[in-house]
Chains A and B, each alone.
Chain A
Amino acid sequence: DAGITQSPRYKITETGRQVTLMCHQTWSHSYMFWYRQDLGHGLRLIYYSAAADITDKGEVPDGYVVSRSKTENFPLTLESATRSQTSVYFCASSDYTGSGNTIYFGEGSWLTVV
């Protein structure tokens, strides 16, 4: 049971570079999410997707791009990384079959922008 996996787990990049964080889930969940977690802010939603080719902005989408060509993958791209994007990024997925359906998180990707 692989579940939901993220790569890379740890990344250091320079300001202005493009970075892509990968997310893959094996449950065939329809919904996928990207959150970032920062001290003092908690988990904040960046983007989410209800199905392949359907994406929506969350609370903090600026500077990020997502795509979902296949149900199982939901990559997050930082087009031109900034220091303020240093954070822990969590991908999550859910099979929204009812109001009680929880979301399941990947292990996280620690990104440092220098």
Chain B
Amino acid sequence: GQNIDQPTEMTATEGAIVQINCTYQTSGFNGLFWYQQHAGEAPTFLSYNVLDGLEEKGRFSSFLSRSKGYSYLLLKELQMKDSASYLCAVRSPGNTPLVFGKGTRLSVIA
């Protein structure tokens, strides 16, 4: 079976840094994805990790520890437009579909 856990909601201040955690227990592992989803819209791809370590992409970074079954998404210099849900998704080996966590709703306040 697969289990992916994320906090349900988080609030952070404009200009600050926020870390959204994701833990997973899956039968096999072949990559972890982060998606952003604004209210009423489709999810859009943010980042991908398959090896341990940090992947940086502008204001967004994603970290993976396979031995701990743990990932986080780091958002720097928060902007109001970063208010959205952030979805963690895991792929198992083979051409298997992504399994998603329930998502973390981030509110950025002034």
Report if B78 contacts A (CB, 8 A).
no
Give the residue of A44, A58, A102, A105 whose beta carbon is less than 8 angstroms from that of B33.
Answer: A102
Whether A90 is near chain B, meaning CB under 8 Å from some CB there, is yes
Q: Does B60 contact A (CB under 8 A)?
A: no
Alpha-carbon gap, A2 to B42, bound state (A): 15
Q: Is the CB of A102 within 8 A of B100?
A: no
Contacts of B102 in A (CB 8 A): 40-42
> In A36-62, which residues have CB < 8 Å from any B CB?
40-45, 48, 50, 58
Question: Are A99 and B30 in contact, CB atoms less than 8 angstroms apart?
Answer: yes
What residue of chain B has the Cβ atom nearest to residue A91's Cβ? B42
Which residues of A9-53 are within 8 A (CB) of B?
31, 33, 35, 40-45, 48, 50
Known contacts A42-B102, A43-B87: A105-B44 contact under CB 8 Å: yes
Give the Cβ gap from A49 to chain B, nearest Cβ, in Å. Answer: 10
Q: When the two chains form their complex, are residues B97 and A48 in contact, meaning their CB atoms are under 8 A apart?
A: yes
Given A45-B99, A99-B30, A100-B31, is A107 in contact with B41 using a C-beta cutoff of 8 Å?
yes
CB of B48 within 8 A of chain A? yes
Contact between A100 and B48 (Cβ–Cβ < 8 Å)?
A: yes
User: In the complex, A41 Cα to B50 Cα: how many Å?
Assistant: 25
* CB under 8 Å from chain B, chain A span 61-114: 90, 96, 99-100, 102-108
Interface residues of A (CB under 8 A from B): 31, 33, 35, 40-45, 48, 50, 58, 90, 96, 99-100, 102-108
Q: Tell me the complex Cα distance, A33–B97, Å.
A: 8
Is the pair B91, A107 in contact by a Cβ cutoff of 8 Å? no
Write out the residue numbers on chain B whose beta carbons fall within 8 Å of the beta carbon of A44.
100
Residue of B nearest to A40 (CB): B102
A50 to B94, CA, bound (A): 12
> Pick the contact of B31 from A31, A35, A99 — CB < 8 Å?
A99
Q: Measured between C-beta atoms, what is the minimum distance from B42 to chain A in Å?
A: 4
Contact B50–A90 (Cβ < 8 Å): no
Q: How many Å lie between the Cα of A104 and that of B48 in the bound state?
A: 14
